[in-house]
Chain A
Amino acid sequence: MGFLVLGIEASAQHTDAPRDTSKVLNEVTVIGIAKKKIETELKMAVSVDEFLASSENISFIKRGAYAWEPLLNNMSSERSTLTIDGMHIFGACTDKMDPITSYVESNNLSTIDIQSGQEGSLHGSTIAGSIDLKRKSTPFAMERKFSGAYQSGFEFNNRQFFNLGNVSYSDEKFVADASISFRNAGNYSDGNNNEVNHSQFHKFNTSLGLAYKTSELSSVRVDAIYDRANDVGFPALPMDLWLSRALITSASYKRLFEDGLLRVWDSKVYYNAIEHYMDDTTRPENLVHMDMPGWSNTYGLVSRVNLKSDRYSSEVQLNAYENISIAEMRMYPQDRSQRTMFAYSWPWVTTRFTGLSTNNSWDLSEKSQLSFGGSVGWNYNRSKYAEFNWIFHPGAPQEKSRILPGLHAGYRLNIDRFNFSAGLGYGHRAPSVSEGYGYYIYNSFDRYDYIGNPDLKNEISYEANASAGFKTERMDIVAKVNYFHIRNYIVGKILSLGSPMNYQSVGVKAYTSLDYARLFNLSVTANYDLLEHLHWKGMVAYARAKDDQDANLPFIRPLSYQTSLHWMHRQFSVMTSMNGDFAQQDFSPEYGEDRTPAYMTLDVSADYTFKIRHYTAVFQVGAENLTNEYYSTYADWGNIPRMGRNIFTSLKINF
């Protein structure tokens, strides 16, 4: 009853937790207690983005201080499935200003499950893997229990003030979880102490979950998250966000079985609605005033069974959803009495997906384990106003169905202190709404307008991965590699016959398929307990990716490293970390990249745990980018400088 969680789980745990590379998570049981916390070792009041950044196979495209787009295995977010508790949610912004990680808050999540490659196909077709944000859900208790936490803090660089609170109630029959959070931040300053205009943000998030035990072994649960961000600046884009709102709701039924092969059956229906309104009125340099509202509504069903016998465990999941994505643009002429200019950038695109997937693991012996799985999905797209797509692709079909198969297998072997694994994967993905049906979507990174192609072929990934690890009582070192050969890799190519629509752009690119692209990722992570209370941790990651002409692909992280020391003594703990990238030599000028120099930042923090009556409280103070380094990373949109020195303080009280 449980499944293996690899990857980030290991690196995101507290150092004093057992350092298993795999861990049985009790999330699927009603009585289990989720122990994961959304915090990094350095900082306990992290945003969801900062938490994800501590994983070795996640990198980010940053358009400002808010709503970073997570890249898994150096692949953009279309290539991974991003879900919240298995629910599919799609951002409503054509410019990817709202990855779904921006619609949750750290105090309503329990953990983030990252699966690399085809192992992540449980939630739907994928190439790069899956990122599943798991919500907090308190288990039923034998006796009445109230618990909660309140956290407040201030970050000096961008004058961010935040308040996060969550409470839970549980008894034998009933559970309630609620959270609320406010974050308000002004503009941040870079390493030269210059203010980066339009980098402010304001976020409000609240969630409520109610569970009711319908019998000894079954329960129902309803959940809702409401998130609102307004006045969010995107310094790297020519416009900001006026307002985005998300309502994420679900109702689920879970049933446990005491004996037999079938252990858990968990089903959920969900609905989520996202609206996203950009605002360019704060940018007087804009020649054209433009409204760009976007809407994305999804409803769906997730149903999963867990099977377990002595040495065999299996999960089978049915995913079904329907999404409608709508995005408009309305340009205002300089003479405002004239007719406005209107078009859809997403012409009412419906996506339907139904898929069945399975992950299995079979313990061949005490030391070896075979895992295998697969998925088959049916993906359907329809563009209501297909005439928009016909302008560039005359005669393209209004509707398109695709079959998306996926397969993977892996073998894991433990020999004494060594462990090895190797795996293979094969999978398809359908083009995203923008890639298939986007219409003059302005990309401010390479300054091109992008046009979708409804006839794009499925992207097909052939994947191999391997890992080797060595572990003793005091140390642990793991090296992981993966290699993707992706056929029909979708990129934007310059379209000579196109003429740009957005006045900042320099041309038109059409999404087309390369014959193939290859991506290689390598990471080495290590832990060493220098003393009983002094721990060291380090990570090095390297990636390389090329297209079919042997040219570099964009947004591939150069050689990067993280190293940290953590010292604990009684109620005190001090932590220091250093991380950085080497210079980006293998950049891609064709996709608007330039060489990004190396950088290194140093962070320190200290915290003190104490008791206020019978409540535990933690006070933390620290600094990020202590040396006030001026830098921007390879994936910073428009080379916008990152935040300079940032002193942060925070207080957390658990009750």
Chain B
Amino acid sequence: MKKILFFITAVSLGFMSCTKEKTDYEAEIETVVTEHYEFKEAVSVSRQPYIISVEALNGTFYAGYNEIRIKVTDTRTSENIQASALTFLPILNLTDGSVGSGPHRYMPEYRADSSFFSGYAVFTNESGEKGTWDLYMGFQIGDDTYRIKQAVSVQKQLNKNLNMTAFTGKDGEQYYIALVSPQKPKIAENELVAGIYTFNKPSGPPSGVFPDPSQFSYSQVNDYTLQLDPRMPEPSMGNHSSPNNMDLKQRSDGLYYGVVNYTMTGNWTLNFIMLNKNGQILKGREVSTDFTPGIEGEKSDLFIDILF
């Protein structure tokens, strides 16, 4: 009897192994998305007795939105100190000789609890054929003023969930929308975070030592609304969309928060309509909501593509 039972168990176990393996959901989400959650030093410059270092996620500047942390360290005490008048200005040197920048926080804010300066930079291009990036920074300690120019390398953002777009609104202003979060979306309700910035046109010609910050001034726009309509552009998905999405509204940290539901992995297009505080459309239009199998989904004239 025991032998028979053993035999049956063995045969059963043989049959029990599945023909096809189940999908590992976590691994599936990670196949095209790498999530970075650790701030590491991206660049550091020594001005004895101080070292100024700029940290970014994964220690790399990527095209698009970058949250940055700037630390000023006194090498004699190895302590981070609160320098005054710390400024931060990324400059893009285009190959045609002109210069530009991207949205950034010129005066990063000091966070006393973690003793660094908090800022951000939206790099509009990666370093390469189009141009190169320099960081211009300055700070004061006591009566001494330090000025720094440091070339940095900006890498291509491979995570499409952190894409950005730049455009001119109907009001003639230059705008930037950069995705901040989620880095790694899920097939779920995702909080969608984006920064919306505008270029402040200079009121006069450049003056003083290059770079004149008034020529490269950007600010977060306030009280705008970013209407959202996510769709899958793949022809076979027939302009598929998802329910229960919420338009992006500004919160106290200046960023815009909304909700996007992704019903499956793959390519998605976030179609936007940007409204100013008076509710006027500055860019974007409604797209067809029809189910059109076999036809690639139509996109708004304001959109960002993502992939996960």
Chain A: residues with CB nearer than 8 A to chain B?
208, 210, 212, 222, 224, 226, 243, 245, 247, 249, 273, 275, 277, 287-288, 293, 295, 326, 328-331, 333-334, 338-344, 385, 387-388, 390-392, 394, 440, 495, 497-501, 503-504, 506-507
Tell me how far the C-beta of B269 lies from the nearest C-beta in chain A, rounded to whole angstroms. 13
Cross-chain pairs A/B with CB under 8 angstroms, 28 sampled: A247-B12, A287-B235, A287-B294, A293-B22, A295-B22, A326-B22, A328-B22, A328-B23, A329-B264, A331-B237, A333-B234, A334-B236, A342-B187, A342-B265, A342-B266, A343-B187, A344-B187, A388-B187, A390-B188, A391-B243, A391-B261, A392-B243, A394-B189, A495-B243, A499-B243, A500-B238, A503-B238, A503-B294
From B1, B25, B240, contact of A500 by CB (8 A): B240
Distance between Cα atoms of A293 and B240 in the complex (Å): 22
- Extra contacts besides A275-B19, A394-B189 (6): CB < 8 Å: A287-B294, A334-B234, A341-B264, A388-B187, A499-B240, A503-B237
Q: Which residue of B lies closest to A297 (CB)?
A: B16
Cβ contact of B264, chosen from A275, A495, A501, cutoff 8 A: A501
Shortest CB-to-CB span from B263 to chain A, Å, is 6
By a CB distance below 8 angstroms, the chain B residues around A500 are 238, 240, 291
Question: Which partner residue on chain B sits nearest A293 by CB separation?
Answer: B20
Q: Tell whether B8 is near chain A: CB-to-CB under 8 Å.
A: yes
* A394 partner residues in chain B, CB cutoff 8 A: 189, 244
List, in ascending order, chain A residues with CB within 8 A of B293's CB.
Answer: 287, 503-504
User: A247-B16, A328-B22, A499-B289 are contacts. A340–B263 as well, Cβ < 8 Å?
Assistant: no
Interface of B is mostly: loop
Tell whether, in the assembled complex, residue B32 and residue A339 are in contact, meaning their CB atoms are under 8 Å apart.
Answer: yes
| CB-CB nearest in chain B for A391 | B261
Q: Would you give the shortest CB distance from A328 to chain B, in whole angstroms? A: 6
Taken together as a complex, chains A and B put the C-alpha atoms of A250 and B19 apart, in Å, by: 22
Nearest-CB residue, chain A, relative to B1? A212
Q: Tell me if B5 is interfacial: C-beta within 8 Å of chain A.
A: yes
B131 to chain A, nearest CB (A): 31
B53 adjacent to chain A (CB < 8 Å): no
Report yes or no: A339 in contact with B187, Cβ–Cβ below 8 A. no
Q: Which residues of B contact A273 (CB under 8 A)?
A: 15-16
Residue in chain B with minimal CB distance to A342: B265
Of A224, A293, A391, A507, the residue contacting B12 (CB under 8 A) is A224
Assess the A245–B22 pair: CB atoms within 8 A: no
Q: Is the CB of A391 within 8 A of B244?
A: yes
Q: Does B28 lie at the interface of the complex (its beta carbon under 8 Å from any beta carbon of A)?
A: yes
> Any chain A CB within 8 A of the CB of B307?
yes
Give per-residue flags for B241-257: 1 if the beta carbon is below 8 A from chain A beta carbons, else 0.
Answer: 11110000000000000
How far, in angstroms, from A282 to B31 measured CA to CA in the complex? 29
Nearest-neighbor residue (CB-CB) of B235 within chain A: A334
Contact pick for A341, options B186, B243, B266, CB 8 Å: B266
Known: A288-B236, A387-B188. A440 touches B263 (CB 8 A): yes
For residue B291, which residue of chain A has the nearest CB? Answer: A500
Residue from B15, B23, B236 with most neighbouring chain A CB atoms (10 Å): B236
Known: A249-B12, A295-B22, A341-B266. A503 touches B236 (CB 8 A): yes
Asked, given contacts A387-B188, A391-B189, whether A343 binds B16 with beta carbons under 8 Å apart, the answer is no
* B18 at the A interface (CB under 8 A): yes
- Contact at B189–A387, with CB atoms within 8 Å? yes
Q: Are B28 and A342 in contact (CB under 8 A)?
A: yes
Query: 5 tightest A-B contacts by CB?
Result: A387-B188, A341-B266, A343-B264, A503-B293, A288-B236
CB distance from A227 to the nearest CB of B (A): 10
Chain A residue numbers with a CB within 8 Å of B238 are 500, 503
A391-B242 in contact given A275-B18, A501-B237 (Cβ < 8 Å): yes
Question: Is B244 touching A339 in the complex (CB atoms < 8 A)?
Answer: no
Query: Does B4 interact with chain A (Cβ within 8 Å)?
Result: yes
Instruction: Check B266–A340 contact: CB distance below 8 A.
Output: yes
Q: How far is the CB of A96 from chain B (nearest CB, A)?
A: 20
Complex CA–CA separation, A390 to B243 (angstroms): 10
B304 to chain A minimum Cβ distance, whole angstroms, is 17
Q: Are A391 and B19 in contact (CB under 8 A)?
A: no
The residue that A501 contacts in the complex, of B19, B188, B263, with Cβ under 8 A, is B263
Closest B residue to A343 by beta carbon equals: B264
Contacts of A243 in B (CB 8 A): 19
Task: Please give me the residue from chain B that is nearest to A289 by CB atom.
Answer: B236
Q: Tell me whether A499 and B241 are in contact in the complex, defined as CB-CB below 8 angstroms, given that A342-B28, A387-B189 are known contacts.
A: yes
Task: Please report the C-alpha to C-alpha distance between residue A594 and residue B53 in the assembled complex, in whole angstroms.
Answer: 73
Expressed in whole angstroms, the Cα–Cα distance for A358 and B5 within the complex equals 33
Beta-carbon contact of B15 and A277 below 8 Å: no
A224-B8, A343-B187, A503-B238 in contact; A391/B263 too (CB < 8 A)? Answer: yes
Any A CB within 8 A of the CB of B232: yes
Q: Is B267 an interface residue (CB 8 A)?
A: yes
Beta-carbon nearest neighbor of A244 in chain B: B19
Per the bound structure, the CA–CA distance linking A357 and B85 in Å amounts to 78
Nearest CB in chain A to that of B31: its residue? A339
Smallest beta-carbon distance A449→chain B, Å: 10
Q: What sequence of 0s and 1s flags, for each residue 112-142 of chain B, a beta carbon within 8 Å of any chain A beta carbon?
A: 0000000000000000000000000000000
In the complex, which residues of chain B have a beta carbon less than 8 angstroms from the beta carbon of A295?
A: 18, 22
A331 touches B261 (CB 8 A): no
Residues of B with C-beta under 8 A to A342 = 23, 28, 187, 264-266
Given A245-B15, A497-B243, check contact A341 B237 (CB 8 Å): yes
Chain B residues, Cβ within 8 Å of A249: 8, 12
Given the complex, which residues of A lie within 8 Å of B18, measured CB to CB?
275, 295
